[in-house]
Amino acid sequence: MSELDMSQYLGIFLDEAEEQLQQLDEAIVKLEQSPDDIELLNTIFRAAHTLKGSSASMGFNRLATLTHRMENVLDLLRQGKMAVNREIIDVLLASLDRLRLLKDGLAAGSGESGEIDDVVARLESVLAPQKAAGDAAEKGGGHNLTLDDIEENVIRAAQVKGFNPYEIQVRLEQGCQMKGARAYLVFNNLKDVGEIIKSIPHTQDLEAERFDDTFTLVLVSREDADTLANIVKSISEIQEVVVRPIRLAEDMEKTTRKAPAAGGGEGPISQAEGRGGENRITQTVRVDVQRLENLMNLVGELVIDRTRLAEVGNGLKARLGSEELLETLEEVSMHIGRITSDLQEEIMKARMFPIDQVFNRFPRMVRDLARKAGKEIDFIVEGRETELDRTVIEEIGDPLIHLLRNAIDHGIEDPAERLKAGKPRRGTVRLRAFHQENQIVITVEDDGAGMDPEKIKAKAVEKGLISREAAARLHPREALDLIFQPGFSTADKVTDVSGRGVGMDIVRAHLEKINGTIDIRTTPGKGTCFTIKLPLTLAINRSLLVQNGGQVYAFPLANVIEIISITPAEIQYVHRQQVVVVRGRVLPLVYLGHALGQARELPPGESYAVVIVGLAEKQIGFIVENLIGEQEIVIKSLGNFIGKIPGIAGATIMGDGSVALILDVRSLIDGLGVEANRELAS
């Protein structure tokens, strides 16, 4: 691969490598705790194997060599020829650290900086006692071909397409002079008739002539065994060729799949990962998100041009009357419109991933946390298949981890306490994801002690977050909102888990960054449920478009509760704050122009449109000059130069090519310093 080609793939490679390193990191730590988990070992092996493969194909020799050595160690563990011990874990983690160093070097453009010899030596020393035994077994000529899941999957996929898998054993003549070259010729000739998916020993060893006389290949081909044997035999200095069809025995499959379920109950997690791996090989292509973003932009342009095309058509029609050519133009422009919408939808879909990617890691985490906290917890996960945009997936992990920790640490009571309260010993934490209209809803629910608004108020007063008087005025549901204040923690004792300084304020900030909302429902003694609502995607948002001061603005529909119309006479004042009474409830009013720092005074009018927005328990009405309607908009950032503007979440391009601003309701309200209806409602 030339330099030029490689740079093209470097980004993808680095992404993948990062993913695999993370997977390895997690899995190896897990392995220390459950050393007999075969499926876990398989996962680790697969990740190392994939990393090795991609490093080698990118020409990153150090990465490839190191992962190869790791793979050797892992393979022995997997086959049960060696037991997991502290030393091995240490070496594996050390290797991992080194891999990361190499990878970071590549990312920084400084090449594979860092030596690997010392780590390789450590890995070798772990291998040494086993190697002699292993070699002996191989020399015995035993039929010991083992395939990992990935290879099996490749074979299955190939079978579907009419390829047959073969195991080809090649023995070179004794004293063959150029073993590496011979092996290369075998590879090369076989490549013309099929695909080699595995070689024992590995190709690097073959090239370096690190083998005796024999090597084994796994090949998928449409040719029959005799033809393949003849192809190999046509190369000189070949002593013997044995071609055997491979049958993926059902029982063999069962052992690999059943084992983990019996082993440690890690089944669902790891199997899901296995499935992901299979998909990647057979059906999916990895695409840079930036690419998709660019595609999306291009489609956006098409949409705009489509509109302009239609306008040109109309203009011509007005001037020239009805003509055949114009009708064609109309047809074409309609067709382009349809295609554009379809394109847009397809690209959006291409960015969707099942949320399982995030949920995957939770069962283990919950178990560990529960054990640490001395609690007994059933963890139920629902809606793993719910799909959402990749950008959202990336952001949702941390908030969920925190909510789960909270549920385990503060929500669920000790077993003894639960029994005393007449509840079952084991608590339940339920994580659920589902679609609701244009949103994803994720709930984290526990049947624990629930939260007491009075206690929360007391805590907030104690921490100086709110005055005693203000606390007394708070509605119980507003009191719950206090836990989102920076510096608040309901923990009476600082535990290992909660004492890390990540508070609910961070959770909310995280969620708002991706246009999400979070709500709490709680019943003291019965449990707590956090409900997160997220847009399906960060890129597209359903919005309410309004017009104000000659400009178009978009309210994210997630924030809009209702739209009402009021007359100037209905506007009243409380503490110099404009309010209106809606169905008996006092609602603060703000003129949008004022909120945006433009005009302070309302333009004269007989009636005003009011957009009522809600943030948790706060509600506020924005007076706008004109309502335009609902529309799906593509969210774009204002860029680095302008940066973050309070009240503005971004911009979008309208059908006519003009730019409209998207409002950030929370910061808009915060900027006003309006106490919303907290004070007024009481």
Partner 1 sequence: MANGTAAEVQLVVFQLAGETYGVDINYVQEIIRMQNITPIPRTPAFIEGVINLRGRIIPVIDLHKRFHLPQGEVTNNTRIMVVEMGRVTVGMIVDSVSEVLRLPVASIEPPPSMISGIDVAYLKGVGKWNERLIILLDLERVLQESEQRQLEQGMAAGVDGQ
Give residue 578's Cα distance to chain centre: 44
The reply on whether position 320 binds partner 1 by CB under 8 A is: no
Q: Does 620 bind partner 1 (CB under 8 A)?
A: no
Q: Which of 637, 655, 670, 682 binds partner 1 (CB under 8 A)?
A: 637
Q: Which is nearer to partner 1, 535 or 647 (CB)?
A: 647
Active-site residues: which are they?
49, 71, 406
The reply to whether 33 sits near partner 1 by the rule CB under 8 A is: no
Question: According to the binding rule CB under 8 A, does residue 636 interact with partner 1?
Answer: yes
DSSP 645: B
Q: What is the DSSP string of 551-613?
A: EEEEEEGGGEEEEEEE-GGG-EEETTEEEEEETTEEEEEEEHHHHTTS--SPPP-S-EEEEEE
Least Å from the CB of residue 425 to partner 1: 56
Hey, what's the torsion of the CAs at 565, 570, 573, 578, to 10 degrees?
10
Residue 651 in contact with partner 1, rule: CB under 8 A: yes
Residues 272 to 311 in contact with partner 1, rule: CB under 8 A: 297-298, 300-301, 304
Tell which one of 645, 675, 678, 680 touches partner 1 (CB under 8 A).
645
Rounded to whole angstroms, the Cα distance separating 61 from 15 reads 18
Candidates 524, 657, 670, 682; binder of partner 1 (CB under 8 A) is 657
Task: State the minimum distance, in angstroms, from the CB of residue 540 to partner 1.
Answer: 14
142 touching partner 1, by CB under 8 A: no
Residue 540 or 596 having the CB closest to partner 1 = 596
To the nearest whole angstrom, how small is the minimum distance from the Cβ of residue 670 to partner 1? 12
Instruction: Quote the CA–CA distance of 485 and 474 in Å, as a whole number.
Output: 14
Binding status of residue 581 toward partner 1 by CB under 8 A: no
Tokens of 675: 């106490």
Q: What are phi and psi of 196, to 5 degrees?
A: -90, 120
Per CB under 8 A, the list member of 132, 325, 569, 641 interacting with partner 1 is 641
Strands 572-574 and 577-582: antiparallel
What is the secondary structure of 453-506 as a DSSP string?
A: HHHHHHHHHHTTSS-HHHHHH--HHHHHHGGGSTT----SS--TTTTTS--HHH
Q: How far is the CB of 655 from partner 1 (least distance, A)?
A: 11
Q: Which is nearer to partner 1, 321 or 643 (CB)?
A: 643
How many residues interact with partner 1 (rule CB under 8 A)? 31
Least gap, CB of 677 to partner 1 (angstroms): 23
- Among 69, 52, 73, residue whose Cα is nearest residue 120: 69
Report whether 148 contacts 46 (CB < 8 A): yes
546 interacts with partner 1 by CB under 8 A? no
Nearer to partner 1, 316 or 638 (CB): 638
Q: Which amino acid is at 221?
A: S
Site for partner 1 in 432-491 (CB under 8 A): none
Q: Quick check: 658 binds partner 1 (CB under 8 A)?
A: yes
| The residue count for the chain | 682
**The binder of partner 1 chosen from 178, 281, 472, 642 (CB under 8 A):** 642
- Residue 665 binds to partner 1 (criterion: CB under 8 A): no
Instruction: Candidates 154-162, 330-338, 376-384, 646-654: pick the segment binding partner 1 (CB under 8 A).
Output: 646-654
Pick the closest to residue 405 from 433, 373, 380 (CA basis).
Answer: 373
Give the closest residue to 97 by CA, choosing from 127, 118, 128.
Answer: 118
Residue closer to partner 1 by CB (options 424, 549) is 549
Amino acid at site 69:
R
Best CA proximity match to 78, nearest among 259, 341, 238: 259
Angle, vertex CA 50, rays to CA 45 and CA 55, nearest 5: 125
CA distance 564 to 485: 31
Estimate to the nearest angstrom the gap between the alpha carbon of 247 and the chain centroid: 36
The alpha carbons of the chain give a radius of gyration, in whole angstroms, of 32
Minimum CB distance to partner 1, residue 667 (Å): 11
Instruction: By CB under 8 A, tell whether 640 contacts partner 1.
Output: yes
Site for partner 1 in 585-604 (CB under 8 A): 596-598, 600
Identify the residue among 159, 438, 495, 551 touching partner 1 (CB under 8 A): 551
Amino acid identity, position 139: K
Q: How many CA atoms lie within 13 A of 115 on its CB side?
A: 4
CB of 671 to partner 1, least distance (A): 7
When the beta carbons of 301 and 345 are compared against partner 1, the nearer one is 301
User: Considering only 202-210, 222-230, 371-379, 642-650, which stretch makes contact with partner 1 by CB under 8 A?
Assistant: 642-650
Q: Is 643 in the site for partner 1 (CB under 8 A)?
A: yes
264 touches partner 1 (CB under 8 A): no
Nearest to 461 by CA among 475, 443, 479: 479
Q: Is residue 633 a contact residue for partner 1 (CB under 8 A)? A: no
**For residues 167 and 147, is the Cβ–Cβ distance under 8 A?**
no
Interface region with partner 1, contact rule CB under 8 A, candidates 50-58, 62-70, 495-503, 641-649: 641-649
Q: How far is the CB of 302 from partner 1 (least distance, A)?
A: 9
Using the minimum distance from each CB to partner 1, give the nearer residue, 308 or 463. Answer: 308
Shortest Å distance, C-beta 316 to partner 1: 23
539 binds partner 1 (CB under 8 A): no
Residues that bind partner 1 (CB under 8 A): 297-298, 300-301, 304, 551, 596-598, 600, 636-643, 645-648, 650-651, 653, 657-661, 671
